[in-house]
Amino acid sequence: MTIASYHISKLSTKGFDETVEDLVKALAGEGFGIITRIDMKETLKKKLNVDFRNYLILGACNPRFAYEALMEEDKIGVFLPCNVVVQEHDNGKVEVSALDPEEMMRPAGNLNLSSFATDIKQMLTQALKKI
């Protein structure tokens, strides 16, 4: 597992579709549902007629934390949902990356939101460990 300045990432030992399936289950086990699904390969083919690798952006949402964050700061929706990317690299390796919620909430300067972000980061990290 890699924790960089703005994301948490992990290489999967499985194929793309199986990784997506396992990720959705792992996220559900941590209380997240998938509320958006953006297939960049499909979108770029339709819009630009270019071929692109498998690249899926999942919008993961934990309703309890989303509600609490919105009650704390009504503009926080600009950071929701938590984006999780599954991409297949040219070498065939599949990588899962999630935006680091602690880094995402830092600009808000709100200690309560920082606490939420720490909890969410732990949950996302646990989900990534399961794939």
* Sequence spans of domains, the chain: 2-129
Give residue-wise pLDDT tens across range 83-121.
999 999 999 999 999 999 998 888 777 777 788 899 999
CATH class for the domain made up of 2-129: alpha beta
How much is the pTM?
A: 0.91
d(CA 126, CA 131) in angstroms, rounded, equals: 9
Residue listed under structure tokens 């979108």: 43
Q: How many residues does the chain have?
A: 131
Give residue-wise pLDDT tens across range 13-46.
999 999 999 999 999 999 999 999 999 999 999 9
- Burial of residue 113, with CB atoms counted within 10 A of its CB: 0-12 exposed, 13-18 middle, 19 or more buried: buried
Nearest to 81 by CA among 94, 71, 70: 70
Half-sphere exposure of 47 (CA within 13 A, CB side): 7
